[in-house]
Structure 1
Amino acid sequence: MKKLLLAMLLVSGFAHAADTPVMNVPTVNQRMKAARDAIAKSDWRTAKFETQKVVSEEPGNADAHNLLAFSYRKQDKPDLAKAFEHYKIALRLNPQHKGAHEYIGEAYLMDRKPAQAEQHLADLEKICGNRSCEEYQDLEKAIAAYRKANP
């Protein structure tokens, strides 16, 4: 009798489990890929959503802070305060983060602070060990364009 009762309980447990919806929560890597895909499409709302989720799950993820800041900076109405906040967090977490140095430099140009942008260019030269890394070259071009437009 006990075996029959136990078997019935086990079977009913399996039946109940089949009725329970399964939640597929995206992993951090999936969210970062979704954010990068959204950025490629200039879908800043989705990029912010995905990177905010990553930041809430992994507050020490410098890449997520960098992409979140990038999304704040690139949206139709840039939120430079939020962008600077997250770039600074990314750089505090990883002072050698080339992307964060490049992008915060570009944000400083948007904020009309070329001297700060040039400091990040100098940081990139030290990090890269030369002037040929992509991040250095991109920020150098942005500074040159800024200087030409604002003599």
Structure 2
Amino acid sequence: MRYAALVLVCLLGASAYAVDTPTVTPPTVSERMGTARQAIERGGWSRAQYDLQSVVRDVPDNADAHNLLAYTYRKQEKPDLAKAFEHYKVALKLDPQHKGAHEYIGEAYLMAKQPAQAEKHLQDLARICGNTHCEEYVDLAKALAAYKKANP
């Protein structure tokens, strides 16, 4: 009888614990992208990289995630241009029309002192945008002009 009571107490205790145990659901890709964008706005490159690496691992064909991950490698205190180029190229392979990736890889080429490569992406943006007025074209054109002024 005592054994049955002990078993009953253990079972009731275990079920009470199970009810109180919170269920943790991992963040969605959309939530991780949102968190990464917020971190980027604050200059939180490590946090953004953590979230974006998990998105890229879970959804390797996400061009936006590769583009933003490359951006974080380029913008951190000590830029990792090799990693930036790697992810920009993946983004452009996944989406050859990705305006943000063309702008940002062009800026990375300027950091690498390769203005001719940046110029190619500026031409791609003119073609993709259908004009020279889209934001990505304007931003890369300004960066290229500043580079040429500083490096005659």
* Fold conserved between structures, TM > 0.5: yes
TM-score (norm 2): 0.89
2:50 alignment counterpart: 49
Question: Sequence identity, in percent?
Answer: 65
1:5 alignment counterpart: none
Q: Distance in 2 between matches of 1:15 and 1:121?
A: 63
1:101 alignment counterpart: 102
Shift of 1:23: 1.5
2:41 alignment counterpart: 40
For structure 2, the residue ranges without an aligned partner over 5 or more in a row are 1-7
Spell out structure 1 runs of 4+ moving beyond 2 A. Answer: 11-17
Shift of 1:22: 1.2
Q: Distance in 1 between matches of 2:95 and 2:15?
A: 47
Q: Distance in 2 between matches of 1:94 and 1:16?
A: 49
1:71-112 residue CA offsets vs partner (Å, 9 max, x unmatched):
000000000000000000000000000000000000000000
Shift of 1:126: 0.4
Shift of 1:24: 2.3
Q: Distance in 2 between matches of 1:125 and 1:92?
A: 18
Residue correspondences, number? 142
For structure 1, the residue ranges without an aligned partner over 5 or more in a row are 1-7
TM-score (norm 1): 0.89
Q: Distance in 2 between matches of 1:78 and 1:90?
A: 19
Tell me the amino acid that sits aligned with residue 138 of structure 2: Q
